[in-house]
Amino acid sequence: MSTPAAPAANSPRRILLASLIGTTIEFFDFYIYATAAVLVFPHLFFPDSSDGAALLQSLATFAVAFIARPVGSAVFGHYGDRIGRKATLVAALLTMGVSTVAIGLLPTHASIGILAPALLALCRFGQGLGLGGEWGGAVLLATENAPPGKRAWYGMFPQLGAPLGFLLSAGIFLLLGGVMSDADFLQWGWRIPFLASSLLVAVGLWVRLNIHETPQFQAALDRNERVRLPMWTVMREHGLTLMLGTLGAFATFVLFYLMTVFTLGYGTTVLHYTRSDFLLLQMISMLFFAAGIPLSALYGDRWGTRRTMIVASGLILGFGVLFAPLLQASSPWLVLGFLSLGMFLMGLTYGPCGTFLAEIYPVQVRYTGASLSFNLAGILGAAPAPYVATWLAERFGLLAVGLYLCGTALMTILALLAMSRRAALSGRNA
């Protein structure tokens, strides 16, 4: 019997748009929290602490989402591998969207006291839960529809959601900063990006409700190849792959959150840039991030995703040595060069990352496995990165932050080399 015709209705344009727009929305939601965690939440949700302590407490709530992301990977990954990619992606987007809009409606510490930061952390957990299920499904939507020789190219479209989401996030904060006073922004203006997210979610839902299941997963359904407990199967049969895949994305997360959350806090508090000036510098650097993603995808299809990420991680290690000399207050051009170089290297490692993680798992547990590796790397790399870097910078200076980045890049290189070794021994192409 022939397979259902529905999956064939997915045109490449529709698939790539659906994978791109969802991750753009998800990362927009994620970044507006990251920006507010540095600029707004320390003042409104932790007012009883000193400036430094309030910033660290706010960054701790930022890290909550990374704890939630593996939970989202397990929950949404289970249904993504059991029921299908499409329905799970819709549910993940709704989870993220509702949590983000709720943050925009929260009363502050002045209204309800200690309950305010508790509710903030709960909503942040919901954001992480949704993103934990979103990313893996978006990558699979693209790669499982890709023609031969184009998996890295298709797989980079969900990755482009990261710089696009950041540009939208920084852009709306810059716009608000230009049309209202700091007092109005702190009183009510900061809520606008969170509430506006509802419009983006509506667009994302419309796009995703008009796609069909991926051909690879549909074929697995037709062959009755689903596993009963995908999470258990990943842990039992693919444990080493899970560990190496997690470490293979480790430096990617550390670099990104050093270049965004840490530098924003450092630039506005230590280097004394205004919020608008530093956000503008970061927005320009995001263009280099976006440029690096398709370039790395081209080489990912030519060389293999592991080799491409090894080269990128080596360059990140070298960048760690330059961290302290480049991030200086004396020259905005030097800071812009620092941010642009760091984000370009981020694009080189992030572009093939999704395809790499999708390739190392079989289709029956691919949603769960790829999502877990990506989000465990988030816990290991991104969750502590802004906090650790802020602590290191305060006590030992920027040189220590650069060495921290070097150490994570070295760990990632070793993990990727180990995976290449395993692939060679098993007779697979690296």
Distance of alpha carbon 423 from alpha carbon 430, whole angstroms: 6
pLDDT digits (tens, 9 = 90+) for 80-133: 888 877 788 888 888 888 888 998 898 888 888 888 888 888 888 998 888 888
Percent of the chain predicted with pLDDT > 90: 23
Other Cβ atoms within 10 Å of 209 Cβ, number: 12
pLDDT digits (tens, 9 = 90+) for 401-410: 999 999 999 9
Per-residue tokens: 162 = 């990261």
pLDDT digits (tens, 9 = 90+) for 314-330: 999 999 998 888 887 67
- Average pLDDT score, the chain: 84
| CATH code matching the domain that covers 8-425, chosen among 3.40.50.2300, 1.20.1070.10, 1.20.1250.20, 1.10.10.10 | 1.20.1250.20
Model confidence band, residue 68 (pLDDT cutoffs 50, 70, 90): confident
- In Å, what is the CA distance from 3 to each residue of 189, 222, 223, 362, 397? 52, 7, 10, 20, 61
Q: What is the pTM of this model?
A: 0.80
CB-neighbour burial class of residue 92 (10 A; exposed 0-12, middle 13-18, buried 19+) = buried
Distance of alpha carbon 2 from alpha carbon 142, whole angstroms: 23
pLDDT value at 158 more than 80: yes
pLDDT, residue 247, reads: 94
pLDDT, residue 426, reads: 67
pLDDT, residue 50, reads: 64
- In Å, what is the CA distance from 344 to each residue of 229, 292, 302, 354? 39, 5, 20, 17
pLDDT value at 1 more than 70: no
pLDDT value at 5 more than 50: no
Which 8-state DSSP code applies to residue 106? -
CB-based contacts of 135, cutoff 8 Å, min separation 6: 23, 26, 158, 354, 371, 374, 375
End-to-end CA gap in the chain:
36
pLDDT digits (tens, 9 = 90+) for 159-216: 998 888 888 887 888 888 778 887 888 888 888 888 988 888 888 788 777 777 777 7
Domain regions of the chain by residue span: 8-425
> Which range (200-209, 294-303, 304-313) has the least confidence?
200-209
- Cβ(205)–Cβ(130) below 8 Å: no
- Cβ(422)–Cβ(242) below 8 Å: no
pLDDT, residue 62, reads: 73
pLDDT value at 10 more than 80: no
